[in-house]
Amino acid sequence: MKRLLVAGVSVAFAIALGTGSAVAADKKVLAFVVNGASDFWKIAEAGVKKAQGELPNYDLQLKYPEQAAAAVQQRMMDDLVAAGAAGIMVSAVDPKNQVEHLNKIASQALLFTTDSDAPNSKRIAYIGSSNVDLGKDAGKLMLKALPNGGKCVGFVGLPGADNARERIEGVKETIKGSKVELVDVRGDEIDQTRAKRNVEDILAAMPDISCMVGFYSYNTPRIYEVLKEAGKLNKIQIIGFDEDPITLGGVKEGAISGTVVQQPFEWGYQGMKLMAKYIEGDKSGVPANGIIIVPGKVIDKTNVDDFMASMKTMLKK
């Protein structure tokens, strides 16, 4: 299946999207609805802000549901449509069970998905990572970190979301037949306290564990914190996803083997521009299969300094 690749540079920190209160009433609203509160989305927010500077005839908004629950997210999208939003790009909390509601939204506004796709819905396009490929990259990091094999446990926010399921699938495919095992994956519903407690519970229950994998952006920092508190850094291997500052710091110091980063900045920037063009009648940016892949990248100790420098440069622009 042919996929359209969108190039770009991912960033780690972001400034809040400033959408002034005095927005002209005739501006069409395009909204980016995320799946929960996480600093990861601040990166996408910076991309939305850049797009806003290039789309003066639109009001671009990034919305955080107060809770990582499908019902809360759905209510937020209903409110946006009721207020006249022309387009919504969403990272669905529970894509399989939200199809009916997503189709309802798609009948009233342009619908894109990002981060976690809902391919069975009537969304026009998905823009984001190939989560299976990201998982394969993480699996390769696991094999490299554990040449003699070992037991690993993963931690993730929403186990039912496509992004989580596909990353886990990619990991399992890559380590299949090796002596590295992914013996369990613990979910936390994007609850930071629960995320940390999950790591503590595994550390207590599995003294023979060899590595921990953080599948969501905040999971790796929680793993790092717990292992540091327990004096287990460099004794248990850590594999991460995304570019949280704690994660990058851990990679730099060698406590984290590596992290697989995405480009949420481009999701926000390219996604908003593509939606605006589609609304205006230009559908050339959306391939026939509706899948727009933004490539990821593996960050380890050999390239973490360059990666961090490139992010700082972008943030100054």
**131-261 topology per CATH:** Rossmann fold (3.40.50)
Residue with tokens 């002034």: 20
Letter for the amino acid at 266? E
What whole-number distance in Å separates Cα of residue 227 and Cα of residue 212? 10
Average pLDDT for 29-57: 92
* Confidence band, pLDDT 50/70/90 cuts, at residue 8: very low
Q: pLDDT for 228-275, tens place per residue?
A: 999 999 999 999 999 999 999 999 999 999 999 999 999 999 999 999
What whole-number distance in Å separates Cα of residue 44 and Cα of residue 246? 18
**Which part of the chain has CATH 3.40.50.2300?**
4-129+263-295, 131-261
What whole-number distance in Å separates Cα of residue 255 and Cα of residue 106? 45
What distance lies between CA 189 and its chain's CA centroid? 14
* Confidence band, pLDDT 50/70/90 cuts, at residue 62: very high
Q: Was domain 4-129+263-295 assigned CATH 2.40.50.140? A: no
Residue with tokens 């797009």: 51
* pLDDT score for 314: 61
62-66, long-range: CB < 8 A, 24+ apart: 62/17, 62/31, 62/32, 62/34, 62/268, 63/31, 63/32, 63/33, 63/34, 64/34, 64/36, 64/37, 65/33, 65/34, 65/35, 65/36, 65/37, 65/93, 66/37
Q: pLDDT for 155-170, tens place per residue?
A: 999 998 888 999 999 9
Element of type H or E holding 168: helix 162-175
Determine the angle formed by the axes of helices 219-229 and 192-205, rounding to 10 degrees: 50
**Structure token digits, residue 6:** 């969108």
